Amino acid sequence: MSKIIEINDFNAPELDIYARLTENQLRHIYEPKNGLFIAESPKVIDRALDAGCVPVSLLLEKKHIEGQAKDIIARCGDIPVYTAEFDILTKLTGFELTRGALCAMYRPNLPSVEAVCQNARRIAILENVMNPTNVGAIFRSAAALNMDAVLLTPACSDPLYRRAIRVSMGTVFQIPWTFIGDKSTDWTVQGIKHLHDLGFKTAAMALRKDSVNIDHPDLMSEDRLAVILGTEGDGLASSTIADCDYTVCIPMSHGVDSLNVAAASAVAFWQLGNR
């Protein structure tokens, strides 16, 4: 049974992991072992538990102990459950957005690229997408619109950052993902070849004159396809586009030159995930 501990002071050390440690500090807190991440809201915590993530502690608004967090507490077993009144918890950045519940969890071991792609036919590749809001939104679209997995290059924002998890509505725990490439080299040096070796054709999303439309019959008929999306602003690297099998565009109108990467991902996944 969980141990309920009431907090009366925002500066209590028990709140450090929720209020005062940065994302980077949480990620490296137990090195060389994996660090921690924070899941927010009962729905997201449920999805993390369903995925096998292991809880460390809970932080709840007091009224939720016998309310919307009751089932969460029961699922988490013998861990500390810190609780406080709303006026103390609102001093926590973002707590008002959490629907009354935060859970610190151990970061899971990431699977290999091969394991993530083993049974996948449609995957998304994120190249240097650095905004956690965009990463979370892309995951949500990927899960909803028939992508089987997501691969991220090393410069991408971490999908287990609080904002990314929150924006994804916990879908980062529902769709398989891992990182591809090495921080010390351009990911395309081996990454595109790796995808080809796994049987994927690669489609670079880019507005170029030699692009094919997103509904091109050859593209739609590919058995295994990796949809590659680039960083905010600059888009995909020229070397990535050059190494891909297709360069693909979403037709624009009214003089609009491009879509935000998260919006573009939803359009691409809807069209290319329908198979």
* pLDDT of the residue at 155: 93
* pLDDT of the residue at 242: 93
Task: Tell me which residue has tokens 């519940």.
Answer: 101
Q: How far apart are CA 44 and CA 42, in angstroms?
A: 6
Q: Enter the pTM of the model.
A: 0.92
Nearest residue to 120 (alpha-carbon basis) of 218, 195, 173: 195
29 with 36: CB under 8 angstroms? yes
Residue 186: is its pLDDT beyond 60? yes
Q: What is the pLDDT of residues 1-43, one digit of tens each?
A: 568 999 888 888 888 998 889 999 999 988 778 999 999 988 9
Bond before 32 cis per omega within 30 degrees: yes
* pLDDT of the residue at 130: 95
Residue environment code for 149-165, b if the CB has 16+ CB neighbours within 10 A, otherwise e: bbbbbeebbbbbbbbbb
Q: And the tokens for 139?
A: 């995951």
Between 275 and 223, name the one with better pLDDT. Answer: 223
* pLDDT of the residue at 95: 64
Residue 97: is its pLDDT beyond 60? no
Q: What is the pLDDT of residues 133-171, one digit of tens each?
A: 999 999 999 999 999 999 999 999 999 999 999 999 999
* pLDDT of the residue at 184: 63
The mean pLDDT value for 65-94 works out to 84
The mean pLDDT value for 193-198 works out to 94
Nearest residue to 240 (alpha-carbon basis) of 251, 228, 257, 248: 228
* pLDDT of the residue at 1: 59
pLDDT band at 93 (very low <50, low <70, confident <90, very high): low
pLDDT band at 256 (very low <50, low <70, confident <90, very high): confident
Average pLDDT of every residue of the chain: 90
Pick from 79-88, 134-143, 199-208, 263-272: least confident:
79-88
* pLDDT of the residue at 99: 67
Q: And the tokens for 115?
A: 């394991």
The mean pLDDT value for 57-84 works out to 89
